[in-house]
Amino acid sequence: MATYTLGIDYGTNSVRALVVNTANGREVGTAVVNYPSGTDGVLLHPNDHTLARQSPADYLVCLERVVKAALRQARWQTGMRGDKVIGIGVDTTGSTPIPVDAQNRPMCLNPKYKKNLNAYAWLWKDHTAFEEAARITAQAKKTRPQFLAQCGGVYSSEWYWSKLWHCLNVDRGLFAATHAWIELEDYIPAVLCGVKRPEDVVCGVCAAGHKAMFNRKWGGMPDAEFLASLDPRLAQLRKRMPSEAFAIDHPAGRLTKAWAATWGLPEGLPVAVGAFDAHLGAVGAGVKTGTLVKIIGTSTCDILVAKNTMPVPDIPGVCGMVDGSVLPGYIGIEAGQSAVGDIFRWFVTSVCRGNDALQVKLTAEAGRLKPGASGLLALDWNNGNRTILVDPQLTGLMVGMTLHTTRAEMYRALLEATAFGALTIVNRIVEYGVPIERVVCCGGIAEKNALFMQIYADVLNRPIFISRSAQTCALGAAIAGALAGSAYPAIEPAIKAMTGVKPTVYRPIPAHVAIYRELYGQYKLLHDAFGAVVDQTAPVDQTPRVGHSTLAGLMKNLLALKQKRAQQ
């Protein structure tokens, strides 16, 4: 008789639940609920565009409704009953730390802090802590370079310690009243399992390793001495943090009686340790050695794995390398591009002042052009460069325009630019000994834009597949749930049985590969000239390249001038 697993996927604007057949990955029930608060679920500040918070109350209200709805659909589709569900997995955005009290309750639920945005969840894309991030990077570079090596060389304003320290700096009262800061990926399983003390929350290695510099090698979280060198109160906080963090094959606990009753699920159902959406998305897309999973949306997240029995060197400029963050027994490698779909959208809406229909038209027109025939070349840095330069202060560039250049040519050049950006990441990883033989893409662009996919196949010179599931993150969470429920002895057979790719495969066209190889040579010249490192907060293992020093600072100089003008 069929058994099922439940995946719960917390995105930026909504939460999704997915009920999946453990034998074959068939998706039998799904539901999405949008967060009711703020702007599309995000709490913004009118005068500080770097701030982005979220309401934990939204998480809880939506959780109840979304699981109910998904189970209802599954029952309707298959006649299954709640007692056939054998496990639950959870993925969330991150780093999204939530300040909680000693009873593991979010601080914002205390009426005293209801109006204080610092008491809410600090959403991944909150950048208020940019100054703290730079200081953490500088301090670690001096005294703990190994911390930086694990996270690509630069500690980000989006990450755990930056956010905590920023709260300490701007809201000492709240920071002092807060007992602990729990990542959303750990908070949701803890809620499902009724954990009443922050100390008892089971910590996932995905958030801890990628965002909080956790590593078993150096005894867990960054040492007290290092944290004290930032602020002694951060070192104090460390005492209340767990000293272990786990991969998704570890149980977070068992479902409470109350939740079980609410949803008609068995009491004590095993709940897996949580992980980030991208990482479980890679699981749902069938990640394995040699397969790069690209989750392509407004930006991309690139995930791959390498057996942890082989030594994998630190790869400079790659966002993070954490043992167990994707699959137990494998180093999880995370990279990404700061803007992909966002760049096309910007060009269509802000430059061409068009809508989705124009994007379809431009895609069709761009598809009739030959590679290299426009004489255009662009850098895909309109939102900075996440991998391999790790520099948010880079900007876009386009070269080659004549008086005859068309908007379709420019649009295609932007598609190609993001593919060249993707190739730069692939090349860097392969140079360091991690093989990439095939690419599996997920996301709307992958499913809808055949031109985009063909350009990627031609530029990357590898076959490009599309994930069979359109909701790979939730599917990955469900696979974690299947593992928690002992449907499989290990993660690899679970992935093999429960994931797949679509029949359409984009294969490199040799003539295009040759042209793009030439164009990429030119892209790399621009990349190295404008992206070269110029300042002291530069990624480790990268030194300024001779002869490019003048152009290397140009984008930053323009941004500095822009900021100066904005303040006048």
559 binds a copy of itself (CB under 8 A): yes
**Contact stretch for a copy of itself (CB under 8 A) within 68-76, 200-208, 342-350, 490-498:** 342-350
**Contact stretch for a copy of itself (CB under 8 A) within 169-177, 207-215, 452-460, 546-554:** 546-554
Count, residues near a copy of itself per rule CB under 8 A: 57
397 binds a copy of itself (CB under 8 A): yes
CA-closest candidate to residue 454, choices 505, 521, 501, 410: 505
Shortest Å, Cβ 454 to a copy of itself: 16
**Contact stretch for a copy of itself (CB under 8 A) within 157-165, 243-251, 425-433, 555-563:** 555-563
CA-closest candidate to residue 5, choices 17, 20, 15: 20
Q: Based on CB atoms, which residue is closest to a copy of itself, 104 or 338? A: 338
Binding mask 258-297 for a copy of itself (x = CB under 8 A): ----------------------------------------
Ordered alpha helix ranges (H), 231-274: 232-238, 257-263
357 binds a copy of itself (CB under 8 A): no
Shortest Å, Cβ 215 to a copy of itself: 34
Q: For residue 45, how many C-alpha atoms fall within 13 Å in the half-sphere facing its CB? A: 17
Which sign, positive or negative, has the C-alpha torsion 446, 447, 448, 450? positive
Which residue in the block uniquely carries the two structure tokens 């954490």? 322
372 binds a copy of itself (CB under 8 A): yes
Binding test (CB under 8 A) with a copy of itself, winner from 70, 530, 531, 539:
530
Shortest Å, Cβ 399 to a copy of itself: 4
308 binds a copy of itself (CB under 8 A): no
Q: Based on CB atoms, which residue is closest to a copy of itself, 233 or 548? A: 548
364 binds a copy of itself (CB under 8 A): no
Binding mask 216-235 for a copy of itself (x = CB under 8 A): --------------------
> Are β-strands 300-307 and 320-323 bridged in parallel, bridged antiparallel, or unpaired?
unpaired
**Contact stretch for a copy of itself (CB under 8 A) within 11-19, 111-119, 420-428, 550-558:** 550-558
Q: Kind and range of the H or E element at 4?
A: strand 4-10
**Contact stretch for a copy of itself (CB under 8 A) within 205-213, 311-319, 398-406, 427-435:** 398-406
CA angle 248, 276, 479 (to 5 degrees): 45
Binding test (CB under 8 A) with a copy of itself, winner from 115, 142, 239, 353:
353
Contacting residues for 189 by C-beta, under 8 A, at least 6 apart: 90, 202, 252, 253, 271, 272, 273, 274
Whether the CB-CB separation of 438 and 482 falls below 8 Å is answered with no
350 binds a copy of itself (CB under 8 A): yes
In whole angstroms, what is the distance from residue 476 CA to residue 482 CA?
10
Shortest Å, Cβ 564 to a copy of itself: 8
In whole angstroms, what is the distance from residue 141 CA to residue 153 CA?
8
- Which amino acid type is present at position 308? N
Long-range contacts of 310-316 (CB under 8 A, 24+ apart): 312/432, 312/433, 312/434, 313/432, 313/433, 314/149, 314/150, 314/541, 315/428, 315/429, 315/432, 315/434, 316/149, 316/152, 316/153, 316/388, 316/428, 316/539, 316/540, 316/541, 316/542
Q: List contacts with a copy of itself (CB under 8 A).
A: 339, 342-343, 346, 350-353, 370-377, 382-383, 395-407, 410, 515, 518-519, 522, 525-526, 529-530, 546-551, 554-555, 557-559, 561-562, 564-566, 568
